[in-house]
């Protein structure tokens, strides 16, 4: 099993579902085309509580963020089905970002601490829920909360100390019973 340093990986999307009978899968990723395939052919899937390396045999872009991907050694639909709904990661050093997408990417906040202006520590970013407004999945002591990645809530990011500073509305304190 492979357990890479979490700070060296970045979440680039997820495997949505299998496609066809030969082990192809549909990948949803905004950053798939940012991988420098001249330096690496592997990505990692987070499966069974560890990062499993998968070597990309071939891929085809189907839309802006959907790709048909064939991995080496994944040759049947039954194996491909086991990968459905799993998060995929790549080493940060093999991702090529332009400055705009890098700063706007909530995936860069994985493993950052989250501090609320009035409450204090809310926990650590453990996941990103994609959508019209992405949400940071923040966990502490077995309790999970979700914070929209919007300027109204996130007022400062300390990239060096890996801290996200938020100012949440009081309704969220009541909802998550934070008082």
Is the same domain home to 24 and 58? yes
Determine, yes or no, domain membership for 1: no
Determine, yes or no, domain membership for 101: no
Is the same domain home to 37 and 114? no
Is the same domain home to 60 and 11? yes
Q: Is 94:9 a contact under the CB 8 Å cutoff?
A: no
Q: Report pLDDT digits (tens) over 26-83.
A: 998 877 887 877 777 888 998 887 889 999 999 999 988 899 999 999 999 999 999 9
Strands 66-71 and 42-47: unpaired
Determine, yes or no, domain membership for 112: yes
Determine, yes or no, domain membership for 100: no
Last residue of a domain, one of 95, 121, 153: 95
Determine, yes or no, domain membership for 124: yes
- Per-residue model confidence (pLDDT) at position 59: 93
Is the same domain home to 89 and 136? no
Look up the CATH number of the domain holding residue 127: 2.30.30.240
Last residue of a domain, one of 52, 67, 95: 95
Q: Residue 93: pLDDT band by 50, 70, 90 thresholds?
A: confident
> How much of the chain exceeds pLDDT 90, in percent?
29
Look up the CATH number of the domain holding residue 32: 2.40.30.60
Alpha helices of the chain — where are they, by DSSP H?
77-82, 99-104, 170-175
CA 126 – CA 111 distance, rounded (Å):
6
CA 80 – CA 30 distance, rounded (Å):
21
Pick the more confident residue, 6 or 164.
164
- Per-residue model confidence (pLDDT) at position 114: 92
Q: Is 176:141 a contact under the CB 8 Å cutoff?
A: no
Last residue of a domain, one of 39, 68, 95: 95
Q: Which domain holds residue 63?
A: 6-95
CA 6 – CA 74 distance, rounded (Å):
25
């Amino acid at each position: 099993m492979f357990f890479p340093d979490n700070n060296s990986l970045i979440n680039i999307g997820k495997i949505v579902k299998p496609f066809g009978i030969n082990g192809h899968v549909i990948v949803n990723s905004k950053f798939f085309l940012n991988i420098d395939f001249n330096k690496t052919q592997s990505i990692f899937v987070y499966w069974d509580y560890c990062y499993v390396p998968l070597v990309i045999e071939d891929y085809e872009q189907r839309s802006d963020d959907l790709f048909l991907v064939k991995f080496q050694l994944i040759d049947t639909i039954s194996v491909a089905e086991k990968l459905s709904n799993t998060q995929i990661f790549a080493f940060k050093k093999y991702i090529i970002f332009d400055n705009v997408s890098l700063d706007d990417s909530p995936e860069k906040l994985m493993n950052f601490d989250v501090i609320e202006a009035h409450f204090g520590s809310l926990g650590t970013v453990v996941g990103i829920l994609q959508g019209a407004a992405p949400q940071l999945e923040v966990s502490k002591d077995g309790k999970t909360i979700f914070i929209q990645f919007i300027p109204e809530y996130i007022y400062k990011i300390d990239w060096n100390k890996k801290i996200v500073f938020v100012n949440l509305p009081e309704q969220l304190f009541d909802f998550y019973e934070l008082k």
